């Protein structure tokens, strides 16, 4: 019997479990650990709350979790409650599927000022992640700068721009909806260090900005390269640039009070402010022959009261696991870290691609894993249970999670799928309530 422990229950973890079930059939037992009492990682805490169709994949993951060969053990943090070396003693294979939950730094002066917030924190806040529920981003200024030209920047802009009615059917956390109701934000600036041709937005995400109830997108026509140059772009990117051209041609809609402006060709130099953010000093750039941003020497000040950095993520290190500081992920060779120790998803390859990219990743990893011989006999799940019980750690099972899910569904606003519990205490209490009542 091959025993496998997967650390992290986001998309990469679940696709790996699905692949292992298909590959090993009845010859495998899988334990899936998560530091949170809740499963699904990025699906719950990263995917935008108004993109419910993307979250539907959680139903498929739940089928995997409820397979008799699989167990979910939430509220167990590897590196705190149990060491990776201990897991290696207990299981044939340890797969780190811990994603990339930490914000990358800009590395510029003023970055530590209150009012500079990484997208992991901001997204975690509106998605009700327990680590960020108390963030209280300052929404009392008219101008917000979002740095980065990827889909996360667009997610943040869209959530800031939407009306309460537009957000009502989403599962945005109540504290975020309350704060946004009183928001003074009227100008959302998406700051990119390169131009429209280099932006990594995708079509659906950029297109949605043209369909908002009270916000209108704005692109400076002068930032667009000559139209003939679009011919050299691959299809997806050409379509995105086509939408940006449409925004530039339309100009702002004067009936809408909020503007989402694309500030292309601007690199942040310094965050300004005394005690809190008051602005951003930007260097104007152009794209050089090597495709990189080059400084023009011309600078400008963008006054703003909140800066959100959406410039990519890093994996969190785990004691004893080799880490590539420059790349912000575990050091690995095609997913292999050491004999019996593997990584997958963003923890393997960095924070790029869609949810579905993790499927290929998970299946690819299991193929490699299956090609290596299992390392002797291992205590497996029973050994883990003994070790956790000895430490007084009580994991949240998938049945417990179903109780949390029921509580969240019951407290949802009208039309919303759930109202998330946002503290560890509340999640643990919901997980145990019915079990305790039945005992």
Least gap, CB of 44 to ligand NAP (angstroms): 14
Taking CB positions, which residue lies at the least distance from ligand NAP?
Answer: 150
| Contact pick of 13, 128, 130, 150 for ligand NAP (by CB under 6 A) | 150
β-strand partners of 217? 260
Give the contacts of 18 (CB within 8 A, at least 6 positions apart).
64, 362
For residue 321, count other CB atoms closer than 10 A to its CB: 24
DSSP character for 78?
B
DSSP character for 226?
P
Task: Compare residues 10 and 268 and give the one whose CB is closer to ligand NAP.
Answer: 268
Site string for ligand NAP, 80-109 (x = CB under 6 A): --------------------------x---
**Interface with ligand NAP, residue 151, by CB under 6 A:** yes
**Interface with ligand NAP, residue 200, by CB under 6 A:** yes
For residue 328, count other CB atoms closer than 10 A to its CB: 20
For residue 25, count other CB atoms closer than 10 A to its CB: 9
Question: Residue 65 is inside which H or E element, if any?
Answer: helix 57-65
Task: Compare residues 23 and 357 and give the one whose CB is closer to ligand NAP.
Answer: 357
Q: How far is CA 392 from CA 2, 82, 385, 386, 400, in A?
A: 27, 12, 10, 10, 18
Please choose, out of 20-28, 174-182, 187-195, 331-339, the segment that lies near ligand NAP by the rule CB under 6 A: 187-195
Nearest Cα to 338, choosing from 11, 41, 93, 39? Answer: 93
Task: Compare residues 268 and 335 and give the one whose CB is closer to ligand NAP.
Answer: 268
> Residues 9, 39: contact at Cβ < 8 Å?
yes
| Contact pick of 34, 93, 155, 208 for ligand NAP (by CB under 6 A) | 155
Site string for ligand NAP, 271-310 (x = CB under 6 A): ---------------------------------------x
Least gap, CB of 257 to ligand NAP (angstroms): 25
Site string for ligand NAP, 104-143 (x = CB under 6 A): --x-------------------------------------
Paired tokens of 70: 């699989």
Q: Give the residue carrying structure tokens 């959530």.
A: 159
Within 311-370, which residues bind ligand NAP (CB under 6 A)? 311-312, 351-354
Q: How far is CA 208 from CA 246, 263, 295, 315, in A?
A: 13, 18, 31, 29
Please choose, out of 90-98, 136-144, 196-204, 299-307, the segment that lies near ligand NAP by the rule CB under 6 A: 196-204
Q: How far is CA 221 from CA 196, 250, 410, in A?
A: 11, 10, 49
Task: Compare residues 3 and 149 and give the one whose CB is closer to ligand NAP.
Answer: 149
Distance, C-alpha 283 to centroid of its chain: 28
Interacting residues toward ligand NAP by CB under 6 A: 51, 106, 147-153, 155, 192-194, 198, 200, 202, 205, 268, 310-312, 351-354
């Amino acid at each position: 019997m091959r025993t496998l422990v997967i650390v992290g229950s986001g998309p990469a973890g679940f696709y790996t479990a699905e692949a292992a079930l298909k590959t090993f059939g009845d010859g495998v037992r899988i334990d899936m650990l998560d530091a949170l009492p809740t499963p699904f990682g990025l699906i719950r805490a990263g995917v935008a709350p108004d993109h419910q169709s993307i979250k539907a994949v959680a139903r498929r993951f739940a089928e995997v979790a409820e397979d008799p060969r699989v167990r979910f053990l939430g509220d167990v943090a590897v590196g705190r409650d149990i060491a990776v070396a201990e897991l290696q003693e207990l299981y044939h294979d340890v797969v780190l599927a811990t994603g990339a939950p930490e914000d990358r730094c800009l590395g510029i002066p003023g970055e530590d000022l209150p009012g500079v917030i990484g997208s992991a924190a901001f997204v975690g806040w509106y998605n009700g992640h327990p680590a960020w529920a108390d963030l209280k981003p300052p929404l009392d200024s008219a101008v917000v700068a979002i740095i980065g030209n990827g889909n996360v920047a667009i997610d943040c802009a869209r959530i800031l721009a939407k009306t309460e009615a537009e957000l009502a059917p989403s599962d945005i956390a109540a504290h975020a909806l309350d704060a946004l109701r009183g928001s003074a934000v009227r100008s959302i600036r998406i700051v990119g260090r390169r131009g429209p041709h280099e932006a990594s937005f995708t079509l659906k995400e950029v297109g949605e900005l043209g369909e908002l109830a009270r916000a209108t997108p704005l692109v400076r026509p002068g930032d667009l390269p000559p139209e003939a140059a679009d011919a050299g772009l691959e299809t997806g990117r050409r379509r995105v640039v086509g939408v940006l051209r449409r925004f530039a041609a339309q100009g702002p809609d004067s009936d809408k009070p909020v503007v989402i402006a694309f500030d292309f060709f601007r690199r942040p130099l310094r965050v300004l402010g005394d005690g809190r953010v008051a602005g951003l000093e930007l260097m104007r750039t152009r794209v050089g022959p090597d495709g990189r941003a080059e400084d023009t020497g011309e600078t400008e000040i963008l006054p703003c009261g909140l800066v959100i950095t959406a410039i990519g993520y890093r994996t969190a290190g785990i004691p004893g696991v080799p880490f590539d500081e420059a790349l912000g992920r575990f050091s690995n060779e095609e997913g292999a870290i050491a004999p019996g120790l593997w990584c997958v998803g963003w923890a393997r390859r960095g924070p790029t691609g869609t949810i579905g990219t993790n499927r290929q990743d998970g299946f690819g990893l299991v193929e490699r894993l299956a090609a290596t011989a299992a390392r002797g006999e291992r205590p497996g799940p029973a050994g883990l249970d003994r070790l956790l019980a000895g430490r007084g750690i009580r994991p949240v099972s998938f049945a417990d999670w179903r109780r949390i899910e029921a509580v969240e569904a019951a407290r949802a606003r009208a039309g919303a799928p759930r109202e998330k519990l946002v503290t560890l205490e509340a999640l643990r209490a919901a997980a145990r309530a019915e079990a305790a009542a039945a005992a």
